[in-house]
Structure 1
């Protein structure tokens, strides 16, 4: 052994390749590592269990001559494991007939199918206004202190896709032990049904494990999707913890830092995770990714949300201001969007009026924000009747459509019905984004505070 640098071990060796798996033999038992760097005869290893207790002398490193691989197959269903894939549920290690490298394989863009058809989360504000689509990557941007973990577990517990075999892989990174207990309890029903894989990395686990957790989750999901034919949703929380682990390892490697101290390759590293989702031509199944990340100080220009936004297809933004109004989930709908929503909503997918209703609700919320700002200046009583109707509509939307229990499951029909009820508070001539035929079919005739104008 030449040197110890935090979680890294530097040894002298020849004939070793990048990303090669290794076993570190110690008097108290073996540990495992991955080759990060090879410089002539010096090899830098990241030790998965950490380097605590290691001292020069008495250390032997055996290189396997292959990348780190994990077993893949349906045996993962119902299992609860740590960030390295080791059981936390008291069961035996997961063994399968096939193994795959955790780094995955690049997917030929020519073989990709565009995402289509909805993944229904049972959360009204997401299903109605920013529909998740099979094969999409749609992140949740949050602020520390907001219920992003509750929303992530609610999506993992409730999500479905009609007409398919739907499964969920949940990867938790940097979680407290209280958070781990919450996730396990919340997802117990789906896990018992054999529809869920749980990989949970604790905040006090070695930092290297945090870099491995999402790769294990995506490798398992890819096999379940493209070999077993399932539609798989991968929920990853919290990607900011992942990026901070990457920064810590980069600092230990003495790399030149880039923006905010993160390594210059943060963008490409995140892309190697996010771009593993999608659909493949000629194969059943799909991988859909919902990464959750916290924005330090609520800064959406922070490198992690900023670079994530470049790679993904939209975002769901959680807002402290919305939470202060008592709304769960506290989604800022005017800052949120799903760029692929039109591929998963509308006639033949959800309902013919879905896209029109979503556009009308968003337009109403934007107009209500303007009316509210004006009302703060001149007083609500000085506003026009139309502006007051928009404020009423906003209150109805937030109270009846957006706000729901963290264990409440709503159908798409229920969500759209609630949206129509809120829109009925507006004068009919303001509903310019909805065809007359849909107004006649879906608009309630007796509306709270509504007017036919």
Structure 2
């Protein structure tokens, strides 16, 4: 028998308080009836017989006297089946594409279930994005969490859309692949951009979209990534698919968390964020991985905008502690009209070495990446020296590095918005650029690999079909 409570004790922003409540549980969903309008809330705190409830649709038009509250006895659940592929949902998992409700094969708690660390499989093999700077130098590995650190005004939305269009498993793979895309706090024009891009490219058939718009309730943003990851876990671990999850923008999630925390009267920590920001981010990021009992995997690319381009801000700082590397977008490259403006030197993928090389990409991949990093770092030194003494006073080798640096940014890092490069195209392009430098300067490459792949007048760059 369910009990219905009449009236509220307090209303504060997106939160309400209800006293005299019995047999309630944390994270339990409640139904609220206000003047014929039905709203959903979640219990976030309980003090003896008093419960604090987050209202997803906001507390507008609610009053202390005539609001009816009913406990459902279960946490927030989302309906799941393979039919979610190609569909668009709001932040709580309700369809918004006009195609009707999902015929649910199963319902799952959006908070997920604890994953035994001993059941995890070490991430192997790579996911191709078609972007040279990522595939060659910060390779995305299945089961990895690799965030993109961006800034306001940088083209992270275009980059996210391009990754969705071009992402795939290794060549000749017969395994199933799909993408779960979740956007939090995005404007209507940005949401329409994502929709149109996916539909026009034909990618929408293997994409599940969850959209929380800027005018949607703030509380809904706290649920959106959990709903998206619940769908990803279902497709990966129940259906054996390899799922790439793109979450944009995690800064909106953190801002929503700060707003709700302030409404609760909690003591703030760094920059006003609650002290449990780290654990909340970890709860989301750690839902990536591979488990031994399933053929599938969940890989994450969270995207976050750094306030004032500050990489020491709490959001990117804490994200860096949890994830396995980062891809950093650079404003100076963006001002040079380089797209995507990926800053090579601070970007890294800590799991890259375990999913590339012979049997995965090509035997020269790791040595080539090491040499490109080293040579581009030397470009920075040459540019700094040229700014002091002038380019004409540089040594012949430093002038070659300047030439290499310009070509590297314009031909390797930069590529078209619809240019999809294979991993072999990217590797061959890297060797072509290294040929601008003398052979003896390439000290990060094994001698045998250098002899085989270094272009010369009599030997062209290795053909695309060559694999080892």
Q: TM-score, normalised by structure 2?
A: 0.94
Q: CA deviation at 1:156?
A: 1.6
Structure-1 separation of matches of 2:36 and 2:180: 33
Question: Any residues of structure 2 matched to 1:60-99 within 5 Å, and which?
Answer: 60-99=68-107
Contact 2:338 2:410 in 1 (8 A): yes
From 35, 47, 63, the counterpart of 2:43: 35
Contact 1:79 1:191 in 2 (8 A): no
Contact 1:316 1:331 in 2 (8 A): yes
Where 1:91 maps in the other structure, the secondary structure is: coil
From 26, 44, 53, the counterpart of 2:61: 53
Counterpart for residue 409 of structure 1: 420
Contact 2:164 2:203 in 1 (8 A): no
Counterpart for residue 282 of structure 2: 271
Contact 1:172 1:200 in 2 (8 A): yes
Q: CA deviation at 1:73?
A: 2.0
Give unpaired runs (5+ residues) of structure 1.
Answer: 448-453
Counterpart for residue 382 of structure 1: 393
Contact 2:184 2:249 in 1 (8 A): yes
Structure-2 separation of matches of 1:91 and 1:83: 17
Counterpart for residue 115 of structure 1: 123
Counterpart for residue 245 of structure 1: 256
Question: Any residues of structure 2 matched to 1:6-405 within 5 Å, and which?
Answer: 6-12=13-19, 13-162=21-170, 163=173, 164-189=175-200, 194-405=205-416
Where 1:304 maps in the other structure, the secondary structure is: helix
Contact 1:24 1:32 in 2 (8 A): yes
Where 1:25 maps in the other structure, the secondary structure is: strand
Q: CA deviation at 1:417?
A: 1.1
Structure-1 separation of matches of 2:455 and 2:407: 14
Q: CA deviation at 1:440?
A: 3.2
Structure-2 separation of matches of 1:338 and 1:187: 27
Contact 2:57 2:217 in 1 (8 A): yes
Greater shift, 197-206 or 54-63, is seen at 54-63
Where 1:10 maps in the other structure, the secondary structure is: strand
Contact 1:190 1:196 in 2 (8 A): no
Q: CA deviation at 1:233?
A: 0.3
Structure-2 separation of matches of 1:303 and 1:256: 16
- Give the root-mean-square deviation of aligned CA atoms: 1.2
Structure-2 separation of matches of 1:51 and 1:193: 34
Q: 1:429 to 1:233 in 2, by over 3 A?
A: same
Contact 1:113 1:281 in 2 (8 A): yes
User: Where in structure 1 do 4 or more consecutive aligned residues deviate above 3 Å?
Assistant: 189-193
Q: CA deviation at 1:56?
A: 2.0
Q: TM-score, normalised by structure 1?
A: 0.97
Greater shift, 335-344 or 157-166, is seen at 157-166
Structure-1 separation of matches of 2:365 and 2:81: 37
Structure-1 separation of matches of 2:390 and 2:28: 67
Greater shift, 437-446 or 346-355, is seen at 437-446
Give unpaired runs (5+ residues) of structure 2.
Answer: 1-7, 459-468
Where 1:45 maps in the other structure, the secondary structure is: strand
Q: CA deviation at 1:397?
A: 1.1
Structure-2 separation of matches of 1:307 and 1:191: 36
Contact 2:81 2:102 in 1 (8 A): no
Contact 1:78 1:191 in 2 (8 A): no
Q: 1:190 to 1:108 in 2, by over 3 A?
A: farther
Contact 1:122 1:158 in 2 (8 A): yes
